[in-house]
C-alpha cells in the first residue's frame, strides 16, 4: 500500500529517537509501504537508526485458540511495565490483509496496557503471500528498539505458518496452551511445540488447577522427548492464571534466566547475527520473487506451466527450465 | 560435474524403458550433471518418459545413527522383492560430496539385495549447497519409475536437513529409532519425528525386546500428542528385528494400508500434484539462485554485504535492496 503522506527522513529519525509514538507509527507504515520510493527511504531510515537497535529482548508469543493470548500478554506486559521497562507489542494477523483496521480492536483487547505510556501496541502488516508472513515485522522491531523499547513482544494471531517466521526473529519463543482439551493433548499443530522455548498452560485457576498441573506434567514429558536445541536451553513448562496473577512473575523470571544463560554462553549474540544474515538472504529472495511474480509475462507463464504439470504433460524439472528461459527473455526485453 | 560420455536421447529413452540398468544409471548421471547442455537433454528425456512415471510407491526412510538402516532396508527390500515387485533404492548422503565413491560401499552393505535382479541400488548426488539436498533425487525417482520399478525407497544417511527435502518427494516417511538410548528417549532431532508416518523401533530381539516394547509405548504416546496430518493418517509405532525378521511383514502391510487409505480418500494423488507444483517452484528458485550465486560479481557483493551486516554497519533490509540493485546491473551489463 502507498502512503498518504511521506515525511522527510530527518522527521522520522528525530521523532523515533525522541520516542514520539505518532512518528514511530508513521515510520512503521513507511516500512510497510510497497512503493519503491518508500522502500528506499525506509532502508535509509533503518541504516540511520541501526546503532540504536538490537538492545531489546525479543519475545514471540503464540497460542491455541481460546488460550487467552491477549489477557496473558496484558498480565505479562503489566509485570514488565511495573519494572519501569518500555514494552512494544507487535501483532501479526495472517488471517487478515486489513491489519490496520484492527488497531482499535487490539487496543480494546489490552485495555490497561494501551493506557500505559510505557507501552506501544501496533498490529503490523502480515505481508502478502509473496512477501511472507510478517515480512515487515522484522523492520518494525528495529524501529521500536531505536525508540527505546527494551522488551518487544511479537504476538501471532492463529497458529500456523507465521510461527516459523517469528521463531526466526525472536530471542525467546513462548507457546500458550489450554489444559483439558481432551484425554490426550490433541490438536497441537505439528512443529509448533518443538520450536517453543517454553510452554505455558493458561487459565490455571479455580476448578482448572488440577487439569493444568496434569497438562504441565504431560507437556514436560513430551518436551523431554526432544533433544535440547543449540541454545543449550531445556524448554520449560509452566502454568499461569491471568485471573489470579499466578505464574506471571515466574514466567518473566524464566525469560530473564534464558537471556542471562544464552548471553553468557554467547548463543544469544550468535543467534542474532545468524538471524540477520538469514534475513538478508530471505529479504533478497522476497524482493526478487515479488519482482518476478508481479511481472505480467511471468505470471502468465507460471500459470500455463502449472496447468501443464497438473495434467501431467510436462515434468516440474522442464517447467522450471522453461520458466528460467522466460525470465531471461524478460530481462533481455526490458533492456532492449 | 560434467559427463564423460553423452549419449543420444533415444539411447537413454530406449534403455530405460527396457529396464537396462546400465543405461538407467547413466541417465541418472546425466540428470546430475550441472552442464547446461546436459540439463537440456535431461529435461527432454524426463518429458519423453513422463507418461511412464508416477506409478510407484515412494518411501522415505531415515533413522538415528546405529538404528541399522541398511540392515532394515535389506530386510524390507527382500520382503518386497519376494512379492516379485521391482525395487529401487536411492541413497542420499549429504555428508559426502563424493557420493559416487560409495556405490561399492552401499552394495556391500546390502549384500543380498544387491544380487537380486529385481533390485536397483544407487546413491544419488546430494547436491551442492546451492541446489539443496538431494536436488536431483526427485528426477532419479522418475527415471526409476519409467524403468518399471514399482517401489522406490529413498534412504538418507544422517539425520538432519535432508529429511525435510525427502518428506516432500515421498508418499510415506518412515523413521527408525533405537530403544534404550537412556531413561528418556533423548536425542531426537527436532522436527523429524513429527514428519514421520511411522516410527519403527529396530533391533527388537533378545534382551532388547522389553526395552523396544517400552519405547514403542512411549513413542506412541508422544505421537498421539500431535494432531493427525492432512492425510488423515494417524502415525503408527512398530517394532522390528532384522535378525529374527519380526515385524518386517507388518511394516510392509502398514505401508500398503496407508497407500490404500490415502488413494481411497484422494489424498495420495492430491499430495503428488501438490508436490509436483511445489517442486516446479523450488527447482526454478534453485536454477535462479545457482545462476546468481555462481556469478562472480554477485558473489563478491554478497560477501561484502554479509561482512557489513556482521559488523552492524548495515541493516539486512538495505543489504537486500543493494544486492537486488547489483543484480539489475549485472542483467543490464550482460545485455549491453
Listing DSSP states for A122-178 in one string gives EEE----TTT-TTTTHHHHHHHHHHTT-SEEEEEESSSSTHHHHHHTT-SEEEEEEE
pLDDT, average across residues B77-89: 89
Confidence of residue B174 (pLDDT cuts 50, 70, 90): very high
pLDDT at A227: 63
* Chain centroid offset of residue A51 CA: 22
Beta-bridge mates of residue A173: A60
Find the Cα–Cα–Cα–Cα dihedral B151, B152, B156, B160, rounded to 10°: -90
Distance from CA of B78 to the nearest CA of A (A): 31
Find the Cα–Cα–Cα–Cα dihedral B283, B289, B290, B291, rounded to 10°: 110
pLDDT at B100: 41
How many C-beta neighbours within 10 Å does residue B325 have? Answer: 12
Q: pLDDT of B204-227, one tens digit each?
A: 999 889 989 988 988 887 777 666
Which helix (H) or strand (E) segment holds residue B148: the answer is none
Helices H / strands E in chain B, number of each: 14, 7
For the cut 70, the answer to whether the pLDDT of residue B189 exceeds it is no
Q: pLDDT of A269-313, one tens digit each?
A: 999 999 999 999 988 988 898 889 889 999 999 999 999 999 988
Interchain CB distance below 8 Å, B50 and A335: no
Residues from chain A that touch B320, judged by Cβ atoms under 8 A, are 280-281, 283-284, 286-287
Query: Cα–Cα distance between B107 and A58 in angstroms, integer?
Result: 51
3 state SS of B180: coil
Cα angle: B74, vertex B77, B83; to 5 degrees: 145
Half-sphere exposure of A8 (CA within 13 A, CB side): 3
Reference A277, options A125, A154, A197, A168; nearest CA is A168
In this predicted complex, what is the ipTM? 0.80
Confidence of residue B238 (pLDDT cuts 50, 70, 90): very high
Residues from chain B that touch A319, judged by Cβ atoms under 8 A, are 280, 283-284
Q: Which residues contact B109 (CB under 8 A, 6 or more apart)?
A: B70, B74
Q: Which residues contact A221 (CB under 8 A, 6 or more apart)?
A: none
Q: Which residues of chain A have pLDDT under 50?
A: 1, 95-107, 128-131, 182-186, 336
pLDDT at B280: 94
Query: Cα–Cα distance between B119 and A210 in angstroms, integer?
Result: 57
> Nearest Cβ partner of A331 from B43, B317, B331?
B331
The dihedrals phi and psi of A324, each to the nearest 5 degrees, come to -65, -40
Q: pLDDT of B241-254, one tens digit each?
A: 988 999 999 999 99
Interchain CB distance below 8 Å, A312 and B54: yes
pLDDT, average across residues B21-35: 90
Output the pTM of the full model: 0.75
Reference A134, options A107, A158, A110, A105; nearest CA is A158
CB A118 within 8 A of CB A56: no
Reference A44, options A55, A24, A30; nearest CA is A30
Amino acid at each position: 500500500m502507498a502512503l498518504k503522506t511521506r515525511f522527510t527522513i530527518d522527521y522520522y529519525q528525530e521523532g523515533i529517537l525522541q520516542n514520539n509514538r505518532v512518528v514511530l507509527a508513521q515510520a512503521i507504515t513507511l516500512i510497510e509501504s510497497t512503493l519503491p520510493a518508500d522502500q528506499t527511504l525506509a532502508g535509509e531510515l533503518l541504516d540511520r537508526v541501526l546503532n540504536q537497535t538490537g538492545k531489546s529482548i525479543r519475545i514471540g508469543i503464540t497460542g491455541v485458540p481460546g488460550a487467552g493470548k491477549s489477557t496473558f500478554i496484558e498480565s505479562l506486559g503489566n509485570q514488565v511495565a511495573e519494572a519501569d521497562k518500555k514494552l512494544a507489542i507487535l501483532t501479526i494477523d495472517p488471517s487478515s490483509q486489513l491489519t490496520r483496521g484492527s488497531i482499535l480492536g487490539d487496543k480494546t483487547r489490552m485495555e490497561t496496557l494501551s493506557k500505559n505510556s510505557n507501552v506501544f501496541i501496533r498490529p503490523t502488516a502480515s505481508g502478502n503471500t509473496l512477501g511472507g508472513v510478517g515480512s515487515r515485522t522484522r523492520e518494525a522491531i528495529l524501529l521500536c528498539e531505536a525508540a527505546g523499547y527494551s522488551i518487544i513482544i511479537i504476538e501471532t494471531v492463529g497458529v500456523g505458518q507465521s510461527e516459523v517466521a517469528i521463531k526466526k526473529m525472536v530471542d525467546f519463543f513462548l507457546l500458550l496452551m489450554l489444559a483439558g482439551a481432551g484425554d490426550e493433548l490433541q490438536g497441537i499443530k505439528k512443529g509448533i511445540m518443538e520450536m517453543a522455548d517454553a510452554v505455558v498452560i493458561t487459565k490455571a485457576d479455580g476448578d482448572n488447577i488440577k487439569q493444568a498441573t496434569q497438562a504441565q506434567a504431560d507437556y514436560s514429558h513430551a518436551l523431554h522427548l526432544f533433544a535440547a536445541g543449540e541454545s543449550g536451553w531445556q524448554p520449560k513448562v509452566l502454568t499461569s492464571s491471568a485471573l489470579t496473577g499466578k505464574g506471571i512473575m515466574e514466567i518473566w523470571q524464566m525469560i530473564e534466566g534464558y537471556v542471562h544463560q544464552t548471553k553468557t554462553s554467547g548463543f544469544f549474540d550468535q543467534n542474532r547475527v545468524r538471524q540477520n544474515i538469514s534475513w538478508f538472504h530471505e529479504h533478497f529472495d522476497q524482493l526478487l520473487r515479488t519482482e518476478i511474480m508481479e511481472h505480467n509475462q511471468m505470471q502468465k507463464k507460471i500459470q500455463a506451466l502449472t496447468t501443464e504439470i497438473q495434467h501431467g504433460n510436462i515434468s516440474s524439472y522442464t517447467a522450471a527450465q522453461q520458466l528460467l528461459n522466460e525470465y531471461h527473455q524478460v530481462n533481455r526485453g526490458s533492456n532492449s
